[in-house]
Amino acid sequence: MKRIELLFVNEDGKTATISLDNPVEPVDASKVNEVMDEIIAQNVFITNGGAFVQKKGARIVERNVTEIEIDLEA
């Protein structure tokens, strides 16, 4: 499963992340930039460290899980 992570710096100078599953691909970097600016401008997300004050980055993360069969009776 893929997800996009939007990373922000909050008022305490710590990193805060918003994660969204199944991003539209290919990712439009200018659109991501606009959305992150709007999130900061609207000030709708508050963390324990305060509001988002600047962008730190954005990334696509892909996670693959493979189950391993084990004997639960042992």
pLDDT computed for residue 28 by the predictor = 96
Predicted confidence (pLDDT) per residue in 23-69, tens digit: 999 999 999 999 999 999 999 898 999 999 999 999 999 999 899 99
pLDDT computed for residue 1 by the predictor = 87
Tell me which H or E stretch contains 40.
helix 29-42
pLDDT computed for residue 24 by the predictor = 93
Token code pair at residue 42? 């609207």
